[in-house]
Amino acid sequence: MKPIEFIDLGRVSYKTAWDIQQAIQAKIIEEKLEERRSGSSIQRSPDVLLFVEHPHVFTLGKSGKMDHLLADEQRLAFLGAEFFRNDRGGDITYHGPGQIVGYPIMDLDRHFTDIHRYLRTLEEVAIRTCADFGIEAGRIDGLTGVWIKDAKICAFGVKCSRWVTMHGFAFNVDPKLDYFDAIVPCGIPDHSVTSLAKILGYDPGIEEVKTRLRSHFADLFQVDIQSVSSIPEPIQAILDFK
């Protein structure tokens, strides 16, 4: 069981979490390259799994279309939401309170070098989490994501550099679903968005859902998730700077 450090950052801005991911990814890549250059094993940093909630924000992936954002600057200001273009795959999505965003920064050379398998495994984490609450979720051919009938409950968008991942998934526990009206979610106009709370008729509690996601992530990726006792200094420095 390979170790992976788990850090729950709580509610942080999208840009702050992006900077943290980039710093962790850059460190893992640099250590990986140094080991190859030296031809001998070195003490390398473990993979990291971040959980966060973001304030209201819309993000557009590198292959996304700007016209899938249906809100102008005035509307964004009214919604209290930010907008970012980023370097992940996928189109446009929304993040906000009540949604668990998971950012695995993993060297897939330690696991398997197959990005499609990686995405399918992340999807399976969400599918099994839904099943824990008695909800049958699944996939739709040709579309990335986890769906309950034709409504998406979990969105995905990743980036991989030298087989080290960043970005990840957004699982809807009890977000304000009307924020999705400001976009064409994931660029798919004929599908809707849902949440655990909407399906169940009550909020199951975000901490309980985090626990389920972590458990299935550990089982499916065959990793030992180790919660850090304190936030590492480089990450804390980014948080303090912001």
Nearest 5°: phi and psi at 168? 170, -115
Tokens 């998934």: give the residue: 169
End-to-end Cα distance, the chain: 35
Q: Domains of the chain by range and CATH?
A: 2-241 (3.30.930.10)
Q: What is the pLDDT along the chain (242 residues), one digit of tens a residue?
A: 899 999 999 999 999 999 999 999 999 999 999 998 888 888 899 999 999 999 999 999 988 899 999 999 999 999 999 999 999 988 999 999 999 999 999 999 999 999 999 999 999 999 999 999 999 999 999 888 999 999 999 999 999 999 999 999 999 999 999 999 999 877 777 789 999 999 999 999 999 999 999 999 999 999 999 998 778 887 888 888 76
Alpha carbon 17 to chain centroid distance?
11
Give the pair of three-digit tokens for residue 168: 């990840």
pTM of structure: 0.94
CB of 10 closer than 8 Å to CB of 68: no
Closest to 54 (Cα-Cα) out of 25, 28, 84: 84
Q: At what angle do helices 233-241 and 14-38 cross, to 10 degrees?
A: 150
Q: Which amino acid is at 43?
A: Q
Active-site residues: which are they?
186
